[in-house]
Structure 1
Amino acid sequence: MRRILKARFFNTLSSPPLLSHGIHVLYCPDSVGIVAKISECIASRGGNIMEADVFVPQNKNVFYSRRKKEAMRRILKARFFNTLSSPPLLSHGIHVLYCPDSVGIVAKISECIASRGGNIMEADVFVPQNKNVFYSRSEFVFDPIKWPRAQMDEDVLNLSKMFNARKSAVRVPSIDPKYKIAVLVSKQDHCLVDLLLAWQDGKLPIDINAIISNHDRLPNSHVARFLERHEIPYHYLSTTKENKREDEILHLVQDTDFLVLARYMQVLSKSFLNTYSKDVINIHHGLLPSFKGGNPSRQAFNAGVKLIGATSHFVTEELDDGPIIEQMVERVSHKDNLLSFVQKSENLEKQCLFKAIKSYCDLRVLPYEDNRTVVF
């Protein structure tokens, strides 16, 4: 197996005018750890990889790559295929890192994975312009016998400490337990039904601990029958302006990893969010930051917009103002009426919420500044 590597890099230890631009290419037989050695070579001389592309064709002994620089902004996109081992013996892992930027981070991540016999399949790196922060997400394959799960956690913890990580996580979907979630919903069912069907089809790595609603559902409704058939607990908690039943909700969701608001038309208080202290994902039937609050479809219709949308975001104490995870849009025209606005919006909501949850579970979502996200 042969590899070809082309890399562009910059020395970021000096002021920008003193930086030089380099390109490196490599074409050789394939083996584990090549990327780690290249990264280490560049980093050891104070250089920083700005972008890297790697290609190892499946069942072919050749490798291709190309690098391109953008000043003071580093992006890495790499794909690898390991054809040295039998696929059934390999497990798939995901690693994310968010930390202050420094020289050699990519080299250390690559070295960590390669030293345990793993091979990176895909990697994304983002270093924002004029920001001293580094983001990365790597997908890799490994032999779980050679790299036990507990050892992987220890290795990732060491990486986290080495770079003073603000967030560092590793996940092995085939080994790690699914995310435990609870879904809060009000009267409308379309987002809930879509989420339940996605869960049933195994499209999301989640287990649904409970459905909580402030609107009751008849025992013979399709949602009630589905929940009963799959033994998913349903809790009806009637709310008023004076009593949002938040203490009871907190008790029901205490063992969850995150919450999903699938058209839950109640505002969660700051006290609730602080006490729960985990992520809450909401779907808003409008294209934020426009049309916040109630009846966004009517607001959009009255405004005469030509694009409508849906937004999935993290919940904060400010209504419809949390960091955005995903948005989807659809074109509308003067021929549309309010009903068609609502129908198109509901379809977008289902898709948008599903994609946001999938991205979150796949460790693609990282915090960026106060009210933004990096979504790989």
Structure 2
Amino acid sequence: MSLTRRVSTSLPQVIGFANRSFKSLRFPGQSLDSSSSSVLTHGIHVFQCPDAVGIVAKLSDCIASKGGNILGADVFVPENKRVFYSRSQFIFDPVKWPREQMDEDFNNLSKMFNAMRSVVRVPDQDPKYKIAVLASKQDHCLVDLLHGWQDGRLPVDITCVISNHDRGSNTHVIRFLERHGIPYHYLRTTKENKREGDILELVPNTDFLVLARYMQILSGNFLRSYGKDVINIHHGLLPSFKGGNPSRQAFDAGVKLIGATSHFVTEELDAGPIIEQMVERVSHRDNLLSFVQKSENLEKQCLAKAIKSYCELRVLPYEGKKTVLF
């Protein structure tokens, strides 16, 4: 009998909730005109622990006992691994279940099951993740991230943009950054000096870094010193064409399927755990221009989706070089 299980549940009373604001939700039986009724808030909890009997029941009881209501739960237990992963979405009354109490309740649950990871997030109450974006000359991923931040599609605050390319004051990127008060730091790099110390001085208060086509290799010393996650976008399906002008290499090779890969950065080049991958077909009818455009569009979409998944606690480490993506 297979031990692998993946459970996805949603409660009938919240069917169609995606078309409404969480702030408009109320528990069944609550009066809509009652002055004492509280606005409900959306919460997310991810859990990783050794597999055991009764984890789902205890998770559900932890939320329900405080008047919370589970909207959806996703569980994964890999075959023969004896490890449990889950991600739960729920609504709750912050008056009845204060944020500090919530942290304490989930912490007690973590101790009960010797959890390796237990993270709770309340998007309406918790600060957005702070990120710094590193980019080189190519603008497409950087511009897409800036516009995604401006439109509210990406739940992050961009603290600064760091680049080894000196953009002119009249470029679209610089005008955008100045208009929104986001600092731009040009750090000229050489083969002998990657300016990693200067980068570290600029990012101490960030939650993670994003490499938006940053054409420099970050050293193991940098990664250890920073100590937090770094998300990269790669110009193909790993492993793929490496070195300079990958689109030209793939085009000349007559490939029929192109892709993009977003992954965590590790000391081993382009070998970090994969977060997201996207593909698109190309054909002999594509010229180099349409080929490059398709490739860049994939990179933009893949990187944005990876960042969004990370901020929504959908990405968990799995077996060192893999990820669980809920």
TM-score, normalised to structure 1's length?
Answer: 0.79
| Per-residue deviation, 1:283 | 0.7
Quick one: which of 66, 75, 79 aligns to 2:6? 75
| CA distance in 1: counterparts of 2:74 and 2:244, whole angstroms | 38
| CA distance in 1: counterparts of 2:133 and 2:168, whole angstroms | 18
Check if 1:199 corresponds to 2:130.
no
| CA distance in 2: counterparts of 1:210 and 1:130, whole angstroms | 44
Q: Per the alignment, do residues 88 and 116 of structure 1 end up closer, same or farther by CA in structure 2, a change over 3 Å counting?
A: closer
Match of 1:167?
A: 117
- Larger Cα Rg: Structure 1 or Structure 2? 1
Structure 1 counterpart of 2:48, one-letter code: Y
Match of 2:287?
A: 337
Match of 2:203?
A: 253
Do 2:131 and 2:208's aligned partners in 1 also have CA atoms closer than 8 Å?
yes
Match of 2:18?
A: none
Structure 1 counterpart of 2:230, one-letter code: V
Structure 2 counterpart of 1:72, one-letter code: L
Structure 1 counterpart of 2:120, one-letter code: V
| CA distance in 1: counterparts of 2:78 and 2:258, whole angstroms | 30
| Per-residue deviation, 1:295 | 2.8
SS in 2 for 1:344: helix
Quick one: which of 306, 316, 320 aligns to 2:266? 316
Alignment RMSD, CA only? Answer: 1.3
SS in 1 for 2:107: helix
Check if 1:229 corresponds to 2:179.
yes
| Per-residue deviation, 1:289 | 2.0
| CA distance in 1: counterparts of 2:244 and 2:111, whole angstroms | 45
Q: Per the alignment, do residues 366 and 292 of structure 1 end up closer, same or farther by CA in structure 2, a change over 3 Å counting?
A: farther
Do 1:313 and 1:324's aligned partners in 2 also have CA atoms closer than 8 Å?
yes
Match of 1:117?
A: 67
What pairs with 1:276-355 in structure 2 (closer than 5 Å)? 276-355=226-305
TM-score, normalised to structure 2's length?
Answer: 0.91
Match of 2:98?
A: 148
Structure 2 counterpart of 1:153, one-letter code: D
Over 6 Å off, 4+ runs: none
SS in 2 for 1:300: helix
Q: Per the alignment, do residues 83 and 288 of structure 1 end up closer, same or farther by CA in structure 2, a change over 3 Å counting?
A: farther
Do 1:92 and 1:141's aligned partners in 2 also have CA atoms closer than 8 Å?
yes
Match of 2:17?
A: none
Structure 2 counterpart of 1:239, one-letter code: T
Quick one: which of 169, 191, 208 aligns to 1:241? 191
Match of 1:54?
A: none
Question: Which stretch of the first structure deviates more once superposed, 86-95 or 271-280?
Answer: 86-95
What pairs with 1:34-49 in structure 2 (closer than 5 Å)? none
Match of 1:272?
A: 222
Count how many residue pairs are aligned between Structure 1 and Structure 2: 307
| CA distance in 1: counterparts of 2:90 and 2:243, whole angstroms | 42
Do 1:323 and 1:373's aligned partners in 2 also have CA atoms closer than 8 Å?
yes
| Per-residue deviation, 1:167 | 1.3
Structure 2 counterpart of 1:235, one-letter code: H
Do 1:99 and 1:133's aligned partners in 2 also have CA atoms closer than 8 Å?
yes
Check if 1:177 corresponds to 2:177.
no
| Per-residue deviation, 1:88 | 6.7
Does 1 or 2 have the higher relative contact order (CA < 8 Å, sep 6+)?
2
Do 2:38 and 2:93's aligned partners in 1 also have CA atoms closer than 8 Å?
no
Check if 1:368 corresponds to 2:299.
no
Q: Per the alignment, do residues 310 and 84 of structure 1 end up closer, same or farther by CA in structure 2, a change over 3 Å counting?
A: farther
Do 1:292 and 1:320's aligned partners in 2 also have CA atoms closer than 8 Å?
no
| CA distance in 2: counterparts of 1:235 and 1:211, whole angstroms | 6
Do 1:93 and 1:139's aligned partners in 2 also have CA atoms closer than 8 Å?
yes
Structure 1 counterpart of 2:98, one-letter code: P
Q: Per the alignment, do residues 344 and 228 of structure 1 end up closer, same or farther by CA in structure 2, a change over 3 Å counting?
A: same
Q: Per the alignment, do residues 346 and 286 of structure 1 end up closer, same or farther by CA in structure 2, a change over 3 Å counting?
A: same
SS in 2 for 1:89: coil
| CA distance in 1: counterparts of 2:267 and 2:282, whole angstroms | 32
